[in-house]
Structure 1
Amino acid sequence: MRSILKILPLSLCLLLIESAGGLPCAAADAQKKTGLVMFIAHADVPPYYIRDPESAKNGILMDVLRAVTEPLGYAVTAWRLPDKRGWDMLEHGGVDVYASAREWVENPDRFLWTDPFMANEDVLLCLAGKPLAYAGPETLRGMTVACIKGFVYPTLEDHFGPGGIIRMDAPSPEAMLELLARGRADAVLVNRTEIQWILRTRRDLEPHRFRLGEPPVGTAPFRFVFPRNQGWEPLVAQFNRRLAAMRRDGSLKAILDRYR
């Protein structure tokens, strides 16, 4: 490499050094980009992401991201990826942004996080004729609560098991509603935004049969997350200013209200 560099023009020398990893160019690349690639994990569901080419709406995540970044000169596209691969590409290159909560991520300071744009809430859903006033995990002692298989509920994890809350796993919110309707569960744990969308768009489920409980069992604020040390710091600062303006003028609330 040294002998080659002696006889090549400076511009080509720099190109070779960069391709060999000798000069960090990620920051410059980020500043030059006019497109953002957001990865969508397979677990993301409507209305967070709506995979419907016939619809003008792509879901909350895409709508908020576009509303914030398009006025800053960025076009947004989405790649649907397995969760683990998406996070790996976010950290090491390949995709630019994702939406999550700091509280769900191990060592979250590996990434850059925007200010929050919406609350993510786990709530109890009961039959309308059997309301449940939730006042903490002890409220559910001895009750059967349907949960999504594989999901972790930090507020309740230490209370599942003998003498505590009886956990019954189901593969989907619709399956949990069926368990509740048949009397096999006393309550189900659902994501507020997701269940509101399901009950709004699936009238066959007879939404009048169910009632959402208050307060939430757990909550974590959704943020957009960018790679660290790849030059995204200026955009994150601009992002937060735009987000604050959208809160003040009501445009952020208008986007969220479309899915409630």
Structure 2
Amino acid sequence: MIAYDPPNEPYSFPSKKNRTGIFKDIFKKLEPLTGDQYIFNNYPFARAIKLFDAGKVDIEPGINPAWRQHTFEKGIYSIVFERSIEVVVFVPGKKIKVRGPDDLAGKAVGMVRGYSYPRFDKAFHSGEIKRMDNLSETLLLEQLLAKRVNQVFVNLRTIQYEMQSRPEFRQFEVGDVVSAVDVMMRFHPSKEKALHRLNKGLKN
């Protein structure tokens, strides 16, 4: 099972912090319901995708199918268990209204490498908006703190957690929602039977 390295808190935490994170908590509760054991391994994003494509890892938690439409192995998906809301976050004094790509034209926007924002992807590909990739949402907020970019796309739950945990992040201005989609557990097709068990567990 995939846990990203570096992690995105509070969904997963570095092992040195001795915390499980939202995803590990969910699967811990699912184990007695499904009879399966779920083992997390930490991988950088690009390697995790390649391992999933090769069938060497079985589950990627918290995914919307649109985010993996360009991968070799599309995977099969569980029932919806959560809604992922992504927002644009600004350095102080730089907040603007973001209704769509035109509002960010000519600007650089930080986001996690490999993350997809369908409403904005055309503008990224054309260069209308400059995409600045980083390895995790926490690192994006560090960039924002250093004013290397004026705005980043991050998960709403993540920015709320980080602002609560780190006082220096409380100066940031949270703007509009840029994406709101249902998320599921992405399974390798070879584990279809385990997916059926997990779906029953999620319903409980």
Task: Please tell me the TM-score bracket, short chain as reference.
Answer: 0.7 to 0.9
**How far apart are residue 66 of structure 1 and its match?**
1.8
Unaligned 5+ runs, structure 2: none
For residue 144 of structure 2, the aligned residue among 156, 163, 177 is 177
- Residue 224 of structure 1 corresponds to 185
* Residues 146, 187 of structure 1: 8 Å contact kept: yes
2:95 aligned with 1:131 = yes
- Cα 1:66–1:139 change in 2 (3 A) is same
Render the CA deviation track for 1:145-187: whole Å, top value 9, x for unaligned.
334456543322322488833444556313431353xxx6442
Q: Partner amino acid for 1:105?
A: R
**How far apart are residue 213 of structure 1 and its match?**
0.9
- Residue 198 of structure 1 corresponds to 162
d(CA) in 2 for partners of 1:209, 1:240: 37
d(CA) in 2 for partners of 1:138, 1:66: 43
Unaligned 5+ runs, structure 1: 1-37, 243-260
2:14 aligned with 1:51 = yes
d(CA) in 1 for partners of 2:162, 2:31: 28
User: What percent of counterpart residues are identical?
Assistant: 22
d(CA) in 2 for partners of 1:162, 1:79: 36
- Residue 79 of structure 1 corresponds to 41
* Residues 173, 195 of structure 1: 8 Å contact kept: no
For the residue of structure 1 that corresponds to 2:40, the secondary structure is: strand
Q: Partner amino acid for 1:159?
A: A
**Where do 1:90-129 residues align within 5 Å?**
91=55, 94-99=56-61, 100-106=63-69, 111-129=75-93
* Residues 78, 195 of structure 2: 8 Å contact kept: no
RCO (CA 8 Å, sep 6+): is it higher in 1 or 2? 2
- Cα 1:132–1:237 change in 2 (3 A) is same
- Residue 68 of structure 1 corresponds to 30
* Residues 112, 134 of structure 2: 8 Å contact kept: yes
Q: Partner amino acid for 2:184?
A: R
Render the CA deviation track for 1:74-126: whole Å, top value 9, x for unaligned.
3432122431343045x3xx544221221122378953311122222331112
**Which has more radius of gyration?**
1
For the residue of structure 1 that corresponds to 2:182, the secondary structure is: strand
d(CA) in 1 for partners of 2:194, 2:80: 17
**How far apart are residue 140 of structure 1 and its match?**
1.7
For the residue of structure 2 that corresponds to 1:156, the secondary structure is: helix
Report the aligned-residue RMSD.
3.2
The alignment's TM-score, normalised by the length of structure 1, stands at 0.61
d(CA) in 1 for partners of 2:49, 2:126: 33
* Residues 113, 225 of structure 1: 8 Å contact kept: yes
- Residue 239 of structure 1 corresponds to 201
**How far apart are residue 223 of structure 1 and its match?**
1.2
2:9 aligned with 1:42 = no
- Cα 1:83–1:43 change in 2 (3 A) is farther
Q: Which aligned segments of 4 or more residues in structure 1 are displaced greater than 6 angstroms?
A: none
The alignment's TM-score, normalised by the length of structure 2, stands at 0.74
For the residue of structure 1 that corresponds to 2:39, the secondary structure is: strand
